[in-house]
Chains A and B, each alone.
Chain A
Amino acid sequence: MPRTRLAAVLAAATLIALTGCGANAGGSNNANNSGTDFPKKGKTIELIVSFSSGGAVDTAARLVQPILEKELGTNVEVVNKPGAGGQIGYTQLTSAKPDGYTIGATGSPSVVVSPLDPARGAKYTRSSFQPLGRQVIDPTVIAVQPDSPYKTLKELLDAAKAKPKSMTASTTGLQTGEHFALAQLQETTGAEFAPVHFSEGASQATTAFLGKHVDILVANVSDVTDLNKQGKVRVLGVMTAERAPSLPDVPTFKEAGYDIEAGTVRGYSAPAGLPDAVAKKLEAALKKAIEDPTVVKKMEDLGLQTSYLSGADYAQFWAGQEDDFKKVLPLVTKKD
């Protein structure tokens, strides 16, 4: 029965054809050096988020994604590559072809610090990235369980001073913003917590905190804004010069008498070596997306203050941060 046999071969061939269809993303085989025809229609741009879905980095990326699509006229796909406090995603980003079809969300201190500690064996340095634009500064906060006996920052820090390491505190990974904040806290106040590194990101850290598996939640303003409204956390202090608009009742560390400022700074970068024309297009699209009023508003609702910097300014800021973090790095390198 030749006809049925043909039908069957066709069915099998469809299987193979389908693989090809599913595989529209990620291909980077026809990099164009001038980049004038970037982006090609129908070619997907991958936006790598180095933390798990649901965290602030991920949310911000997903907010700018539709506007980027509109501005660039092609698909932009957010891809989560969590692990090792961002290092896995950053490695992937910097080892991609600099053709504009792979960009990534970069957050400091993780992206700035991970190449500084030789023990991490990072494959990239600051010069492996081409910064495209800064989006937000998200200050660090310290929070306790709603039924915790500690009502103020002073009570908590005094207790931690009296019994060092008696309380556990979450971070989003070794040498991430939260880890630095804990180190700075210990340096200036003498209060010592036992850090627990949730290397996949803030959503894992908050889940563990809500399940009462860690005592202290060290996070960013955006992570606790919603939880604070629901009464699921008691935020004791925010590490900025001024109070955070989304947490008006929470005192700053300065007000409480501790001179500490810390936070996470997030933006977008490409692997270094982007053709100029491509970089310009991406930068312009990102500026539009980051400053888009609806995006800014939505970010605000999440407790995120938009603070745009152009690619060049973001690069300069990055270099400055690198100098700062080099000084405090010994505080967060593993001694054991």
Chain B
Amino acid sequence: MDTLNELIGGFAAALTWQNLIFAFLGCLLGTIIGVLPGIGPVAGVALLIPLTMNLDATGAIIMLCAIFYGTAYGGTITSVLLNTPGEAASAITTIDGYAMTKIGKAGAALTIAAVGSFVGGTIATLGLVAAAKPLGELGLLVGPPEFFALMVVGISLLVALAGKSMVKALISGALGLLISMVGIDPVAGAPRFTFGSDNLLDGVSFVAVIVGVFGLSEILSYRKDTSASAVHAPGLRSLLPTGTEWRRSAPSMARGTGIGFGLGLIPGMTGSVSSLLAYGAEKKFSKHRNQLGKGAVEGVAGPETANNAHANAALIPLFTLGIPASPTIAVLMGAFLQQGLTPGPTLFTEHSEIAWAIIASLFIGNLLLLLLNVPLVGLWTSILRVPAPILTALILLFMVIGAYTINFNVFDVFVMIGFGLLGLALRHLDIPLAPMVLTLVLGPLMERSLRESLEISQGDFGIFLNRPISMVLIAIGVLIILSPLLKLRKPQALNEDPET
């Protein structure tokens, strides 16, 4: 009952005009980002953080969450219409989605995808509501040692799952930790690694780093020809799927929700794993599996539902445990921290109203996404007609303005460019970027909880092993790191996933 009351309170806060507009803008911008090929969700969310910096905490987070799942939907549109996925998680949708376009059912495919996304996203958010209270109540049990151990688990999961080589992932993670050490020592107050520069006293600006590492380097390394020939936006009449198509997609949506929700909870899994598995499930279980690949509606409904269920479910570990489950979520978590909110068990004890307003806005956002996408398909496709050089130039301009407006400091623009070049170098060396952004976000929290823990134990590292919760967590972390030695294989799909 308590949960319900708080959720209703959350709806009251989220349904103000102001917050509705933020949710709407977020969905809109997120979808645009998803449509644009070459900018993935991580870069997209990073790019748009500066937009939200000066909003109040609730509005900013609502908008960012909306951007986040907007991207999860936007990628679908280009997959279906152009056979070009806007982001990795929609790649599998191209098979049947584009096949449907060729037989004149593009509208039906997009509508089914939008409805599937809505169903998956809403059910996953219900899961968040159910999990928030019980897990949030564990908040007080999580002291500094447990918090530190949680961070260890989060980092080891992402390191273990990212890229092809764990050594390279560790290099990337260590880089992020190093960068996070720049600035005033959070306990003793002495400046560290600032080289006497006042610009570095407050640390390297997180937003500038993310925009550089993900956004700029992605643009710099993007060479693919985007000139899309003859795209026809589907007419309104062809938007509606037939009754049979609805009936056929329902079970696929159910399967997609289950798969996306389950995998979204696991830190380190990305949306593409969910959509690939959902497609696999359709191939195995669908009644019409023989038609898959030739424009079967199941091939769109399953993966797209899974994709959005995943995106929303991935917020559960962030809200309740403070573990970012994917690079995009790590960027989102960075934005939380910028707003003075520490995601995790204490979020519901310290900032309960904000937390519930955000959860309520997730429901609203999922609905807005549905209302927004179906009628606006024509506009989305027209964005792709902007010649790539103009589009790239606009995005670059946007990045520079974004970096500058963080603190109205040109220094941040140079930080952004510098990290863009670093990101490009890392891409060429095949070093995954995800562990770096994760440790960059978690570094300060880890340092704080480590130092607090050692003060509690008066210098004894045994504190992490003496307390049952932290001991179990540390053991899990060690197991994950040792998993290659134990010959536990990670899903093949993660190796080729550009998001990791």
Question: Judging by beta carbons under 8 Å apart, are B382 and A197 in contact?
Answer: no
Does any Cβ of A come within 8 Å of B32's Cβ?
yes
Residues of A within 8 A of B140 (CB): 207, 210-212
How far is B478's CA from A193's CA once the two chains are assembled, in angstroms? 34
How far is B381's CA from A267's CA once the two chains are assembled, in angstroms? 56
Question: Judging by beta carbons under 8 Å apart, are B458 and A11 in contact?
Answer: no
Residues of A within 8 A of B384 (CB): 8
Question: Judging by beta carbons under 8 Å apart, are B383 and A11 in contact?
Answer: yes
How far is B383's CA from A200's CA once the two chains are assembled, in angstroms? 45
Contact string against B for A residues 21-53, beta-carbon threshold 8 Å, 1 for contact and 0 otherwise: 011111111000000000000000000000011
- Closest CB-CB distance, A99 to chain B, in whole Å? 13
Does any Cβ of B come within 8 Å of A80's Cβ?
yes
- Closest CB-CB distance, B343 to chain A, in whole Å? 14
Contact string against A for B residues 363-396, beta-carbon threshold 8 Å, 1 for contact and 0 otherwise: 0000000000000001100111110001100110
Question: Judging by beta carbons under 8 Å apart, are B202 and A88 in contact?
Answer: yes
Within 8 A of B (CB), among A203-223: 203, 207-208, 210-214
* Known contacts A12-B386, A207-B350; A26 and B379 CB within 8 A of each other: no
How far is B301's CA from A172's CA once the two chains are assembled, in angstroms? 52
Question: Judging by beta carbons under 8 Å apart, are A84 and B394 in contact?
Answer: no
How many A-B Cβ pairs are below 8 Å?
163
- Closest CB-CB distance, B251 to chain A, in whole Å? 37
Does any Cβ of A come within 8 Å of B401's Cβ?
yes
Question: Judging by beta carbons under 8 Å apart, are A165 and B189 in contact?
Answer: no
- Closest CB-CB distance, A246 to chain B, in whole Å? 22
Query: Which of B186, B386, B398, B408 lies in contact with A5, CB distance below 8 A?
Result: B386
| One of B52-60, B171-179, B490-498 at the interface | B52-60
Query: Which of B54, B394, B455 lies in contact with A195, CB distance below 8 A?
Result: B455
Query: Which of A19, A26, A174 lies in contact with B407, CB distance below 8 A?
Result: A26
Does any Cβ of B come within 8 Å of A151's Cβ?
no
How far is B53's CA from A25's CA once the two chains are assembled, in angstroms? 10
Residues of A within 8 A of B32 (CB): 11, 15
How far is B382's CA from A9's CA once the two chains are assembled, in angstroms? 10
How far is B397's CA from A20's CA once the two chains are assembled, in angstroms? 12
Question: Judging by beta carbons under 8 Å apart, are B202 and A92 in contact?
Answer: yes
Does any Cβ of A come within 8 Å of B50's Cβ?
yes
How far is B53's CA from A121's CA once the two chains are assembled, in angstroms? 29
| Chain A residue at minimum C-beta to C-beta distance from B444 | A83
Within 8 A of A (CB), among B171-203: 183-191, 198, 201-202
Does any Cβ of A come within 8 Å of B3's Cβ?
no
Residues of B within 8 A of A28 (CB): 408
Question: Judging by beta carbons under 8 Å apart, are A84 and B184 in contact?
Answer: yes
| One of B141-149, B417-425, B481-489 at the interface | B141-149
- Closest CB-CB distance, B190 to chain A, in whole Å? 5
* Known contacts A119-B188, A207-B140; A198 and B379 CB within 8 A of each other: no
How far is B32's CA from A1's CA once the two chains are assembled, in angstroms? 19
Question: Judging by beta carbons under 8 Å apart, are A4 and B187 in contact?
Answer: no
Question: Judging by beta carbons under 8 Å apart, are A54 and B189 in contact?
Answer: no
Residues of B within 8 A of A200 (CB): 186, 448
Within 8 A of A (CB), among B432-458: 448, 451-452, 455-456, 458
Question: Judging by beta carbons under 8 Å apart, are A25 and B54 in contact?
Answer: yes
Question: Judging by beta carbons under 8 Å apart, are A120 and B455 in contact?
Answer: no
Residues of A within 8 A of B350 (CB): 53-54, 203, 207
How far is B398's CA from A114's CA once the two chains are assembled, in angstroms? 40
Question: Judging by beta carbons under 8 Å apart, are A26 and B340 in contact?
Answer: no
Does any Cβ of A come within 8 Å of B226's Cβ?
no
Question: Judging by beta carbons under 8 Å apart, are B455 and A168 in contact?
Answer: yes
Most buried by B among A1, A83, A198: A83
| Chain A residue at minimum C-beta to C-beta distance from B140 | A211
| Chain B residue at minimum C-beta to C-beta distance from A194 | B458
- A–B complex contacts, Cβ < 8 Å, 18 sampled: A1-B382, A5-B382, A5-B386, A11-B32, A12-B398, A22-B52, A28-B408, A88-B184, A88-B202, A91-B184, A95-B201, A114-B189, A119-B188, A120-B188, A120-B190, A121-B191, A174-B189, A211-B143
In the complex, the 4 A-B pairs of residues with the closest C-beta atoms, listed nearest first: A213-B143, A4-B382, A120-B189, A211-B140
Q: Which residues of A contact B (CB under 8 A)?
A: 1, 4-5, 7-9, 11-13, 15-16, 18-20, 22-29, 52-54, 77, 80-85, 87-88, 91-92, 95, 114, 117, 119-123, 165, 168, 173-174, 194-200, 203, 207-208, 210-214, 334
